[in-house]
Amino acid sequence: MADLTTFGVASAASSRVVVDWRTSFARRLALTDAAALLWVMFGTELVWLGFGRTVDAGGAPLRLGGISYSLVSFVIAAIWMLALSISGTRNDRVIGTGSTEYKLIFDATLRVFFLVAVFAFLFKVDLARGYILISLPLGLAALFVERWLWRQWLQLQRAEGAYSSRVILIGSRESIAHIGAELRRATYAGYSIVGAIVPGQHDAVVLPTGPALPIVGDVDRVIEAMDRTDADTVVITSGDELSPERVRRISWSLEPGRRHLVMAPSLTDVGGPRIHTRPVAGLPLMHVETPRYEGGQRAAKRVFDIVGSGLLLLVLSPVLLGAALAVKLTSPGPVFYKQERVGRDGGRIYMLKFRSMIVNADAQLKSLLEEQGTVGTPLFKVKNDPRLTRVGAFLRKYSIDELPQLFNVFNGEMSLVGPRPQRDPEVELYDAAAWRRLNVQPGMTGLWQVSGRSTLSWEEAIRLDLYYVENWSLAGDLVILWRTLRAVLAPGEDAF
């Protein structure tokens, strides 16, 4: 068996500080939740009513008249805190990543709204409507901002290996390598892998990136391996080597509430809304919905594109006019540049841009790619492109050259969000899986553009585009648009 020290596996003594991170982090969330809610409730009371106001409850069956609004603010905040706790908004399984945390906060807030409204109606308590209608939505916004700030901090900590579950992977070498690589890539999810157990084998498991995983024990001595590595979670990556009875015995041996069992299916890149679990005859069956790109979903996306592109064209019309004048007055040639790209289902579209290069720039592309040795590679980009004009370089840095594609979106040739339309030479490199990115309308911006922009590899870009195609939602589009705005306002060296 490999020496654990050689692979950097921490001892129980050295990592004891992170064992109870779930409880300590939940307490921090509770404190800041309470601070945000009290600030909102008392702040709204002060601005809307002023301190010292009392509740008008003359016709109420209970003697509530004369109660101070300060007491009402405190009680509503306390009920709100209870609703957040009951809804599980501070559970370690939802914090730090995904939208579940925000959905639970929203649901808890709706319950508070409903409870306050029902109480006021049943007991004829005349609460100031402006006070309620301002404080509850403002409190929801404050909770979202506070939790988002905590999420940024938590993800930075997890990138360093802190505030994460310490995981042992159990299964075949192939499944461990696959699941291990995905978990290492997604550090924000909070899984820090400390070792592996492969039945009947003792050689370390090599992962595509990073150091190999040491074999930390035997499948019949999982608890001993967890004690040595201070692990708190066991992830079963495959069931070929483990009978249902053996998996059951592993689950029985884990200490409830402190050590956890996770089953990892071989299916990846599937969004949460498509997954539904259903216990049948003691079997935890997982239903995975097949993605659909028709009917109501397609109509909703089209309406969103028409309204969104129309509003953006109206709001950004001064920018569009200024950019057009700058291009026309600083270099000879047309204002717009049309380029043929591959659209949905392989159709052809002509994508619009503000011209950012000299005339006949396409004729020089092949020689420039040959010069830098990237002929025939996908996602090709000329570094330090000499064809760019001075105005064009500025337009590209802030993605202003892409704004004419709003006309493509309004006309139905593109979408605000979707896989970026590519050229024929790039599409010719697609395999059967990559062709699925053509099942939806191409977009002005997409998931891979806001996940690394031009620094991502071809394989990673395709994987992100396929994830978008398989798991599209309007809420996801709004998130991508927000991340695009942030990237445009603060462009890095990898900006297009």
CB atoms under 10 Å from CB of 350, counted, come to: 11
Query: Average pLDDT in the 50-79 region?
Result: 72
pLDDT tens-digit profile of 104-153?
999 999 999 999 888 887 877 777 888 888 998 999 999 999 999 999 99
User: pLDDT tens for residues 341-384?
Assistant: 998 888 999 999 999 888 777 666 666 666 665 555 555 566 66
Q: What is the 3-state secondary structure (H, E, C) of the chain?
A: CCCCCCCCCCCCCCCHHHCCHHHHHHHHHHHHHHHHHHHHHHHHHHHHHCCCCECECCCCCCCCCCCEHHHHHHHHHHHHHHHHHHCCCCCCCCCCCCCHHHHHHHHHHHHHHHHHHHHHHHCCCECCHHHHHHHHHHHHHHHHHHHHHHHHHHHHHHHCCCCCEEEEEECCHHHHHHHHHHHHHCHHHCEEEEEEECCCCCCCECCCCCCCECECCCHHHHHHHHHHHCCCEEEECCCCCCCHHHHHHHHHHCCCCCCEEEECCCCCCCCHHHEEEEEECCEEEEEECCCCCCHHHHHHHHHHHHHHHHHHHHHCHHHHHHHHHHHHHHCCCCCEEEEEEECHHHCEEEEEEECCECCCHHHHHHHHHHHHCCCCCCCCCCCCCCCECHHHHHHHHCCHHHCCHHHHHHCCCCEEECCCCECHHHHCCCCCCHHHHHHCCCEEECCCCCCCHHHCCHHHHHHHHHHHHHCCCHHHHHHHHHHHHHHHHCCCCCCC
Q: Which of 130, 159, 188 is the last residue of a domain?
A: 159
Domain assignment present for 231? yes
Residue 236 lies in a domain: yes
> Encoding tokens for residue 474?
């309007």
Residue 278 lies in a domain: no
Separation between Cα atoms, residue 304 and residue 441, nearest integer Å:
13
Which of 461, 429, 427 has its CA nearest to residue 447? Answer: 461
* CATH code assigned at 180: 3.40.50.720
Structural domain ending residue among the three candidates 105, 140, 159: 159
- pLDDT for residue 257 is more than 70: yes
494 within domain boundaries: no
Q: Is the pLDDT assigned to residue 491 strictly greater than 70?
A: no
pLDDT at 200: 81
Q: 462 and 399 share a domain?
A: yes
What six digits make up the tokens of 47? Answer: 């601005």
pTM over the 0.75 mark:
no
Same domain, 206 and 340: no
Regarding whether 258 and 316 lie in a shared domain, the answer is no
Is the same domain home to 366 and 483?
yes
Distance CA 431, CA 378 (A): 13
Beta pairing, strands 191-197 & 348-354: unpaired
Tell whether 272 is covered by a domain.
Answer: no
Most confidently modeled range among 171-180, 311-320, 430-439:
311-320
The answer to whether residues 142 and 199 belong to one domain is: no
| Residue 99 neighbours by CB under 8 Å, 6+ apart | 272, 475
**Torsion, CA 84, CA 85, CA 90, CA 94, rounded to 10:** -70
Min mean pLDDT across 90-94, 210-214, 294-298, 336-340 is at 294-298
What mean pLDDT do residues 148-165 have? 91
Residue 149 burial (CB count, 10 A): 11
Domain containing residue 259: 164-266
Residue 365, Cβ neighbours under 10 Å: how many? 15
Are 66 and 147 in a shared domain?
A: yes
Q: Are residues 457 and 494 in contact, defined by beta-carbon separation less than 8 angstroms? A: no
Is 276 within the bounds of a domain?
Answer: no
| Cβ(61)–Cβ(116) below 8 Å | no
- pLDDT beyond 50 at 472: yes
Residue 274 resides in a domain = no
Task: Report residue 36's pLDDT band, with 50, 70 and 90 as the boundaries.
Answer: very high
Q: Please provide the average confidence, as pLDDT, over all residues in the chain.
A: 81
Task: Kindly report the backbone phi and psi dihedral angles of residue 303, in degrees, each rounded to the nearest multiple of 5, phi listed first.
Answer: -60, -45
Q: In this structure, is residue 10 part of a structural domain? A: no
Question: Which domain-ending residue is among 221, 247, 266?
Answer: 266
Q: Domain total for the chain?
A: 3
pLDDT given at position 196: 92
Residue 331 clears pLDDT 70, i.e. is over it: yes
Render pLDDT for 183-198 as a digit per residue (tens, 0 to 9). Answer: 888 888 889 999 999 8
Do 101 and 33 contact (CB within 8 A), yes or no? Answer: no
Structure tokens at 406: 């709003």
Q: 383, 326, 382, 381: which is closest to 356 by C-alpha?
A: 326
Higher pLDDT, 304 or 375: 304
Q: With bands split at pLDDT 50, 70 and 90, how would you rate the model's confidence at 172?
A: confident
Same domain, 122 and 184: no
Q: Token match 């802190």: residue?
A: 162
Residue 137 and residue 176 in one domain: no
Residue 416 predicted with pLDDT over 90: yes
By the 8 A CB rule, do 116 and 132 touch?
A: yes
Whether residues 355 and 465 share a domain: the answer is yes
- Asked if 218 and 123 sit in the same domain, the reply is no
Same domain membership, residue 440 and residue 322: yes
How sure is the predictor about 444, in pLDDT bands with cuts at 50, 70 and 90?
very high
Looking at the fold, whether 451 and 318 belong to one and the same domain comes out as yes
Determine the pLDDT at residue 282.
62
Calpha distance 429→284 (Å, rounded): 39
pLDDT number for residue 39: 95
Distances (CA, A) of 307 to 312, 385, 418, 483: 9, 36, 16, 19
Q: Which of 361, 482, 325, 492 shows the shortest CA–CA distance to 417?
A: 482
| Mean pLDDT in residue range 394-417 | 91
